[in-house]
Amino acid sequence: MTDNDQPEDLDGPVADPGHHRVVFENEHVRVIETLIRPGDATEVHTHLARHLTVVRSGTHFIRRDRTGALLVDTRDDPDFVLPGQLWSEGIPAHTLENAGEEDIALTSVELKS
């Protein structure tokens, strides 16, 4: 288990390699690319490290917790726009469904320190 009491096998690239892939890693950072096609959804996974995400494309999404309970549905806000960059202190177990009409394409830089 990790410090956040989440199984390490829920790490994005481990639990959901069909949508997440490590493109660079060293002792300081790990860079992950995420691609979710319209209508597709990820497996339950985590992003526990602090990270900066650069949004390359995407519109609407639905995020659920590990039990399937709805956390966020951006379609509830017709004016919603994904920001270009997002900072996170870590994200516990969740799924992400692409509810938009274009790919959700993200690049995340996780800090290791």
Tell me the residue length of the chain. 113
Q: What is the mean pLDDT of the chain?
A: 94
Give the model confidence (pLDDT) of 51-102 as tens digits. 999 999 999 999 999 999 999 999 999 899 999 999 999 999 999 999 999 9
- pTM value is 0.91
CATH of the domain at 32: 2.60.120.10
| Domain range for 14 | 8-111
CA distance 63 to 54: 18
Residue 21 pLDDT class (50, 70, 90 cuts): very high
Write down the residue that tokens 């950072």 correspond to: 29
In a domain, 92, yes or no: yes
In a domain, 1, yes or no: no
In a domain, 28, yes or no: yes
In a domain, 2, yes or no: no
Amino acid in position 44:
V
In a domain, 85, yes or no: yes
Contacts of residue 78, Cβ cutoff 8 Å, sequence gap at least 6: none
Q: How many domains does the chain have?
A: 1
Read off the pLDDT of each residue in 10-16 and give the average, rounded to a whole number. Answer: 96
In a domain, 3, yes or no: no
Task: Output the DSSP codes for 41-90.
Answer: BPPSEEE-S-EEEEEEE---EEEEETTS-EEEEGGGSTT----SEEEES-
Q: How many CB atoms lie within 10 A of CB 73?
A: 15
CA distance 108 to 113: 15
In a domain, 37, yes or no: yes
